[in-house]
Structure 1
């Protein structure tokens, strides 16, 4: 059964940003799937390139473990995204404005992070995602 770009994207976001579940995240990818964050410098804590479902699982699990327990979580009610289909039915683009709450009782304003992700799909799974965001967000 083929999934729509909307279904693929929602499953990917739920597994990654919402629940930080590396097993569920990896299952969104083909066996040879590739995750790339081309703007992240080499040697950063956040993985720049992961190849294969197992490497995606292990790499993201290691990153999630390093996150501070008080790390601010995204507010999905305030956040938004637009999916763009392309002339290639196996490629879609996600434009995302993710909002991170300032936290209870904080005098700080919410933080808005804008990013773009390009998805290449094969057989209803992610064959490649290129994730473009400001690298200092994950340092």
Structure 2
């Protein structure tokens, strides 16, 4: 029985943002899977386009090794998401509000983003991640 969009999304979130496990993240993609972050400048450290499991694995391992943006800790209990299915059963959209804990006198901040998933054989064949690049620099 194929996995639901909810199951695919939750396994992606667990592998990436929650556990920062580049191997598990890469395995969430098809062998020829594509990860795209179209709003990221071409010269940024964060990858703009990755093709294939091995490129996803190595680039995200390097990204995770650099650590997160100083002072930005995602609070997953306060964050939320809504999944939207489409007329194409292999495509769904995630609308995400990630809450970052405030530091000192600064209050929490929320970053909103959208991800478009294209699925093949229960894995991510293409993920377009539309987020503000300053979240990762």
Q: Same fold (TM over 0.5)?
A: yes
Equivalent residue for 1:108, pick from 106, 109, 112: 106
TM-score of the two chains, using structure 2 as the length reference:
0.95
Displacement after TM superposition at 1:73 (Å): 2.6
Q: What is residue 63 of structure 2 aligned with on the other side?
A: 63
Tell me, in whole angstroms, the C-alpha distance in 1 between the residues paired with 2:129 and 2:69.
24
Deviation per residue, 1:18-41 (Å, 9 max, x gap): 111100101100000000000100
Runs (5+) with no aligned partner, structure 1: none
Alignment of 1:81-120 (within 5 A): 81-103=81-103, 106-120=104-118
Q: What's the secondary structure of 2:55's corresponding residue?
A: helix
Equivalences, count: 137
TM-score of the two chains, using structure 1 as the length reference:
0.94
CA contact (8 A) 2:22 2:58 kept: yes
Query: Structure 1 residues 133, 31: closer, same or farther in 2, change over 3 A?
Result: same
Runs (5+) with no aligned partner, structure 2: none
CA contact (8 A) 2:72 2:100 kept: yes
Tell me, in whole angstroms, the C-alpha distance in 2 between the residues paired with 1:54 and 1:79.
30
Q: Tell me whether 1:126 sits opposite 2:124 in the alignment.
A: yes
